Every structure is written in structure tokens, then in C-alpha cells.
């Protein structure tokens, strides 16, 4: 449970940094008045992508574990 909160906090922080970078590089397209909302939405989007990648990783890792051979057990 703590791990999920840490991942969530890191994603929100990364979203804030992405929003800040976008606002600083294109202030005419991204006004400062929307910085907080942009940071929150981008952070939630980053969190969604991270969770999607983690889910795919678990599926792929689960397939390779089931199909792999434990060579150390066969050698003994």
C-alpha cells in the first residue's frame, strides 16, 4: 500500500514538472492561471500510464516465469 502512494506522489510531482516545463517553453499556449490544473491532470495521466506499464510488465513476466525452465533444479 505504501509503495502505491509513493508511486502516486512521484507521478504527481513528475506531472507538475512536465506542466512547468511546458508552461515555461510555450507561455502563449499554456497560461499560468491553468498551471495547477494542468499539473494535476498531467500527473494523473502519468500515473495511469505507469499503472498500465506495470500491468503489462506483470503479464509478460508471468508468462516468462511459467514457460521458463529452472535449470538449477534440473542440474542437481
* Within-domain flag for 58: no
pLDDT value, residue 23? 92
Cell of 26: 510555450
As averages over each run of 10 residues, the pLDDT of the chain (76 residues) reads: 94 95 91 91 96 93 67 60
* Within-domain flag for 67: no
Are 16 and 43 a contacting pair, CB within 8 Å?
Answer: yes
Distance CA(19)–CA(26), nearest Å, equals 10
H or E segment to which residue 43 belongs? helix 35-67
Quote the domain boundaries for residue 22: 1-50
pTM comes to 0.74
Give the number of domains in the chain.
1
* Within-domain flag for 65: no
Residue 15 class from Cβ within 10 Å (0-12 exposed, 13-18 middle, 19+ buried)?
Answer: buried
Amino acid at each position: 500500500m505504501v509503495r502505491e502512494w509513493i508511486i502516486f506522489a512521484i507521478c504527481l510531482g513528475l506531472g507538475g514538472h512536465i506542466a512547468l516545463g511546458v508552461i515555461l517553453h510555450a507561455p502563449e499556449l499554456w497560461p499560468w492561471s491553468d498551471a495547477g490544473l494542468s499539473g494535476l491532470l498531467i500527473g494523473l495521466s502519468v500515473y495511469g500510464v505507469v499503472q498500465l506499464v506495470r500491468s503489462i510488465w506483470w503479464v509478460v513476466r508471468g508468462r516468462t516465469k511459467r514457460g521458463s525452465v529452472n535449470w538449477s533444479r534440473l542440474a542437481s
